[in-house]
Amino acid sequence: MSHIHPNFWERLPAPFFALAPLDDVTDAAFRRIIAKYGKPDVFFTEFTSADGLVHPKGRRAILPKLWFSEEERPIVAQLFSAHPEKMREAARQVGELGFDGLDINMGCPDRAVNKQGAGAACIQDFKQAQALIVAAQEGIRDSGKKIPVSVKTRLGFDKDILETWLPALLEAGPQAITLHARTRKEMSSVPARWDRIARAVEIAKGSGTRIIGNGDVRDIAHARALALETGVDGVMLGRAIFGNPWLFDEKKMTIPAEERLEVMREHTDMYASLFEGKKSFELMKKHYHAYASGFPNAKELRLALMGCADAASVREVVARFLAENSRRTSADTE
What is the set of active-site residues? 108
How does DSSP classify residue 149? E
- Interior CA angle at 220 toward 161 and 266, to 5°? 115
Task: Report in angstroms the alpha-carbon separations of 151 from 126, 154, 226.
Answer: 13, 10, 20
**Widest pairwise Cα distance in the chain:** 73
Using the 8-state DSSP alphabet, how is residue 117 labeled? T
The gap from C-alpha 53 to its chain's centroid, in whole angstroms, comes to: 19
C-alpha dihedral, 238 to 297 to 314 to 62, nearest 10°: 20
The amino acid at 161 = I
Query: Which one-letter DSSP state was computed for residue 41?
Result: S
H or E segment to which residue 199 belongs = helix 194-204
